[in-house]
Amino acid sequence: MSSRFAGSCRIPLSTTLRQVLLLFPLMATVAVAQDKPEVPRIAVAVPFAIPANATTKVVVRGWKLNRDLEAKSTIGGVTFKVVRHDNAPIPNGQDAKQIGDTLVELEITVPAGFSSASLPIRLFAGEMESTEYTLLVGGRDPVVSEIEPNDGFRQAQAIAIPQIVDGQLHADRNVDVYAVNLGVPQKLLVEIIARRQGSGLDSVLTIFDAKGNKIDSNDDAVGADSRIEIPLAAGPYWIVIQDANDHGGPAHPYRLVVQSLP
């Protein structure tokens, strides 16, 4: 070996120690970052509307939820029980980054006389807490649940006016149909609450008359949520809900609100 080559390989010991000492804090920081658990995040709760004076099972979808968690609210008197936590199914063609890939199932008991129309909740993993998610509680108008099958005019679910319906598009290319019968001419408000609550549903709302003619349709009125205000003659009508991208599944709940306007 030449003296020139041998000389080029010599590194003063003091320089080596100094470099190691400089790198050590960076290495320690990387190790801590890799070991630090990620904060739980909530995408949507199904259903996102629950009654007062009842115990309701609610599946919360999101990220980093498949571990021991605790649910809490800033409003007192409400109790939470964690039933299970697990990975969440991802329907074909949908993005886990949007609808969540883990879940936790809760039993939420809201006492009688609960006066708030909403219930803020957070999930805790040790000292880490999720951002706040707000469940809807009750409703000013009568609330019913969707009854399947209601996938066409002949299977339409009859509803009254005023009415609130808590439902879900259960699969891709699913449509939900509701039938209303107006005894007198009136102006109707028909509205979907979904994306505002974190639902994956990009709703399209359509109203048909008794002959199957399309009367009105709306896609995005309040963000991705649909809303129609329309004067209608007396008679039967169908309200049809679908997803703009033909998607459906466990992350596609909605609340349908139907009211008579002055």
204-243, pLDDT tens digit by residue?
Answer: 999 999 999 999 999 999 999 999 999 999 999 999 999 9
Q: Where does residue 53 fall: left (phi above 0), alpha (psi -120 to 50 degrees), or beta otherwise?
A: left
Residue-wise DSSP of the chain: --HHHHHHT---HHHHHHHHHHHHHHHHHHHHHHHSPPPPEEEEEESSEE-SSEEEEEEEEEES-SS--EEE-SSTT-EEEEEEEEE----TT--HHHH-SEEEEEEEEEPTT---SEEEEEEEETTEEPPPEEEEE--SS-EEE--S---SGGGPEE--SSEEEEEE--STT--EEEEEEESS-EEEEEEEE-GGGT-S--EEEEEEETTS-EEEEES-SBTTB-EEEEEE-SEEEEEEEEETTS--STT-EEEEEEEEE-
pLDDT score of 13: 47
Read off the tokens for 257: 């609100």
Q: pLDDT exceeding 70 applies to what percent of the chain?
A: 86
Model pTM score: 0.82
pLDDT score of 252: 96
Q: What's the mean pLDDT in 26-38? A: 53
Q: What's the mean pLDDT in 117-123? A: 97
Q: Hunting for tokens 């129609």 — which residue is that?
A: 228
pLDDT score of 191: 98
pLDDT score of 8: 43
Band (11; pLDDT cuts 50, 70, 90): very low
pLDDT score of 2: 43
Round to whole Å and give the CA distance between 180 and 236: 6
pLDDT at 31 over 50: no
pLDDT score of 216: 98
| pLDDT tens-digit readout, 90-108 | 988 899 999 999 999 999 9
User: Mean pLDDT across the chain, nearest whole number?
Assistant: 89
Domain ranges of the chain: 41-137, 143-261
Better-scored residue on pLDDT, 86 or 91: 86
Do residues 46 and 58 touch, judged by C-beta distance below 8 A?
yes
pLDDT score of 36: 55
Q: What's the mean pLDDT in 33-54? A: 84
| CATH level 3 topology of 41-137 | Immunoglobulin-like (2.60.40)
Instruction: Determine whether domain 143-261 maps to CATH 3.90.1150.10.
Output: no
pLDDT score of 100: 96
Round to whole Å and give the CA distance between 184 and 231: 11
* Bridge partners, 245 (sequence order): none
pLDDT score of 18: 56
Band (33; pLDDT cuts 50, 70, 90): very low
Better-scored residue on pLDDT, 19 or 168: 168
pLDDT score of 37: 64
